[in-house]
């Protein structure tokens, strides 16, 4: 059945106010375990999470419509029943979509680093965003963040240190080889992994 996403829609602010859900009729309250990936892109890591955690619901929030359409087709082709795709801007909606202390883990793999100083305000990882993440995380839950941009890595760590309910923890030594992780590693870039845990 065709995915009901228009080829051209309004600006991101309007998308953020009215998120598109797939499947359309789903209640996240029905799940004891919620794992979130922000910016799943091609979906490789999202599907890895779904297959590794069949008893959990795996939620992917993606801001780009074309990627969402491709993700939904891949979910259907794989027959995955525990994946939810949301078209929206995570910065604006996570505290509206998820109840406080309901999410087990948040994964953010290689988001746009916005390397120019004048664009740095557009970065996803900020003190304000991490505070929103802390609200929806369960106690002991974690934000797993990866970037190949050293300046972004420093800024993200600094932001995390400013959030009272978050502390830095050692990242996992077993990192999933995402598309961008392999791409940047092959090009010789240093990959920076972080784990911020809610206390």
Nearest to 21 by CA among 62, 66, 56: 62
Task: Sheet with 166-169: list strands edge to edge.
Answer: 20-22, 83-87, 57-62, 34-38, 103-109, 137-147, 192-198, 166-169
Q: Identify whether 112 is a catalytic site residue.
A: yes
Set 30, 92, 112, 139: catalytic member:
112
Strands (E), the chain: 20-22, 34-38, 57-62, 83-87, 103-109, 137-147, 166-169, 192-198
Distance CA 127, CA 152 (A): 13
Per-residue pLDDT of the chain (199 residues; tens, 9 = 90+): 434 444 344 444 444 456 889 988 778 888 899 999 999 999 999 999 999 999 999 999 999 999 999 999 999 999 999 999 999 999 999 999 999 999 999 999 999 988 887 878 899 999 999 999 999 999 999 999 999 999 999 999 999 999 999 999 999 877 888 888 888 888 888 999 999 999 9
List the domains of the chain with CATH numbers. Answer: 16-191 (3.40.50.150)
pTM to 2 decimal places: 0.87
């Amino acid at each position: 059945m065709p995915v009901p996403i228009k080829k051209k829609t309004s600006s991101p602010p309007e998308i953020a106010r009215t998120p598109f859900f797939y499947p359309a009729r789903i209640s996240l309250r029905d799940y004891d375990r919620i794992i979130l990936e922000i910016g799943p892109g091609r979906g490789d890591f999202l599907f890895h999470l779904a297959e590794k955690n069949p008893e959990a619901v795996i939620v992917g929030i993606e801001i780009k419509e074309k990627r969402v359409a491709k993700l939904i087709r891949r979910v259907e082709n794989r027959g995955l029943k525990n994946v939810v795709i949301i078209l929206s801007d995570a910065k604006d909606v996570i505290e509206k979509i998820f109840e406080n202390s309901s999410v087990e883990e948040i994964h953010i793999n290689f988001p746009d680093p916005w390397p120019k100083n004048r664009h740095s305000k557009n970065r996803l990882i900020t003190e304000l965003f991490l505070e929103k993440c802390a609200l929806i995380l369960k106690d002991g839950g974690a934000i797993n963040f990866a970037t190949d941009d050293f300046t972004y890595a420093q800024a993200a760590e600094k932001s995390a240190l400013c959030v009272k309910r978050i502390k830095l923890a050692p990242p996992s030594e077993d990192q999933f080889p995402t598309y961008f992780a392999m791409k940047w590693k092959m090009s010789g870039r240093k990959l920076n992994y972080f784990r911020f845990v809610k206390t």
